[in-house]
Amino acid sequence: MPLDSQTVQDFAVALGLATLSGYSLYATAFLTGLAVRLGWLPDLTHDHLLNALGETPSLVFFGCVAVVEFLTGKVRFLGSAWDLLHTLIRPVGAAILAVHAWQHHGQASELLVALLGGTAAFGMHGLKTAGNLTASHVPVPFANAVVSGTGSLMYLAGFILLLAHAVLAVCVFGALALLGLWLMPKAWQRLRPVVRFLWDKGASSRQHGALGR
């Protein structure tokens, strides 16, 4: 695989999309589909999955779910529960998206791109989770709305930067992903009570259901 400027550009776009998916997989799928459809990312129009993201049903679906995710993040603790639910979904989806963005370079490097993309997405997911958890524990009105709204604006700025200068964007994203990986263990410590509560509540419901029968 020749290491020319186009290869570096494609690699940066693939990793950039994956990292952004760690913040919002649905918004990234929507914006990627829109970018492919409008010709903002012409190098990705060769892939069937990315072209499918640009179809109207896909844009409507991912756009609606992205709006739901956006609103969920504004509610105290609900955003953290949503993040917990997507702990595996975002990195896996990010890896798939990265591989399809990189696919025409051959299968030999796809595994590397998938691993790097999934790891970067997990780091960005950790950064978002830590931010939502911190906001949920701050006794300030609308703290979650402020943090989530700021994060959404930064996400949009990141996507625009990716379109304009992919290599620079990936450098910025990489620093943020590393910060998220460092914060993830701390976020998990705060998430453990939420997981325990949900597990105990589910166990209690199953026990009552069994007694009812």
Arithmetic mean of pLDDT over the chain = 85
Cβ atoms 97, 23 nearer than 8 A: no
For residue 196, what pLDDT is reported? Answer: 65
The first and second tokens of residue 66, run together, are: 């992205």
Residues 68-86 pLDDT 10s: 999 998 887 788 789 888 9
State the pTM of this model: 0.83
| Confidence category of residue 148, pLDDT binned at 50, 70, 90 | confident
**Cα 120 from Cα 162, distance rounded (Å):** 15
**Distance of alpha carbon 13 from alpha carbon 35, whole angstroms:** 12
Give the pLDDT mean for 189-199: 61
Closest CA to 13 of 23, 30, 36: 36
φ/ψ of residue 5, rounded to 5:
-65, -35
Dump the DSSP string for the chain.
----HHHHHHHHHHHHHHHHHHH-HHHHHHHHHHHHHHTSSGGGTT-HHHHHHTSHHHHHHHHHHHHHHHHHTTSTTHHHHHHHHTTTHHHHHHHHHHHHHHGGG-GGGHHHHHHHHHHHHHHHHHHHHHHHHHHHTS-STTHHHHHHHHHHHHHHHHHHHHHH-HHHHHHHHHHHHHHHHHHHHHHHHHHHHHHHHHHHHHHHHHHHHHHH-
* Residue 192, pLDDT score: 63
Q: Show me where the domains of the chain are located.
A: 5-212
The model's pLDDT over 28-70, given as tens digits with 9 standing for 90+, comes to 999 999 999 999 988 888 888 899 999 999 999 999 999 999 9
pLDDT in tens, 112-129: 999 999 999 999 998 888
The structure tokens 């956006």 sit at 70
Pairwise CA distance, residues 104 & 65, whole Å = 29
Mean pLDDT of 80-106: 89
